[in-house]
Amino acid sequence: MAIILNIQVYLCMFFAFLHTEGTRNSNDNVKTIQNFLSHPGWNNINDVELIKYRNNQHKLKDLIVIPVTMLNCDNCIQQIMLFLGCSYANDLDLINYSLNKFQQHCFELLDSSYVRAHHCTITLLTKMIEIIPIAKCMRGALDAIKKYHTAIRSSVKRKRFILSRLLTNLQEEEILLTRLSTSLLPIKDVLGSINQILLSRSNEFKKDKSFCELKQLNFDSLWQIWNTEFNTPIVQRKFQELFIFLSDKISNFILTTITKKYFELGFIFDSNTSQTFLSVKPSTSDNHDIAQNHSTNFTQNTNYVNTQEAIQKNDIITYPSIQHTNNVEIQEDIRQENNNCEVNDDSDVLIHYPKGHEPFNKYLN
What integer pLDDT is reported at residue 159 of this predicted model? 53
Query: What tens digit of pLDDT does each residue of 134-185 get?
Result: 999 999 999 999 999 986 543 444 455 788 888 888 888 888 998 898 888 8
If one compares 350 and 92, the residue with the highest pLDDT of the two is 92
Phi first, then psi: what are they for 259, rounded to 5°? -75, -50
Q: How far apart are alpha carbons 85 and 80 in whole angstroms? A: 8
Alpha helices per DSSP H over 110-163: 114-146, 154-158
Using a 10 angstrom Cβ sphere, with 0-12 exposed, 13-18 middle and 19 or more buried, the burial of residue 352 is exposed
Predicted TM-score (pTM) of this structure: 0.74
What integer pLDDT is reported at residue 362 of this predicted model? 52
Length of the chain: 365
Which of 127-136, 218-227, 257-266 is least confident?
A: 218-227
Closest of 225, 264, 278, 261 to residue 47, by C-alpha: 261
CB 270 within 8 Å of CB 27: no
Q: Where are the domains of the chain?
A: 19-339+353-364
Query: What tens digit of pLDDT does each residue of 283-333 get?
Result: 665 444 444 455 445 544 444 444 334 333 433 233 222 233 345 445 545
Query: What tens digit of pLDDT does each residue of 37-60 get?
Result: 999 999 989 899 999 887 888 999
Helix, strand, coil shares of the chain, percent, nearest 5, are 70, 5, 25
pLDDT of 341 above 60: no
How far, CA to CA in Å, does 192 sit from each of 106, 121, 355? Answer: 11, 11, 15
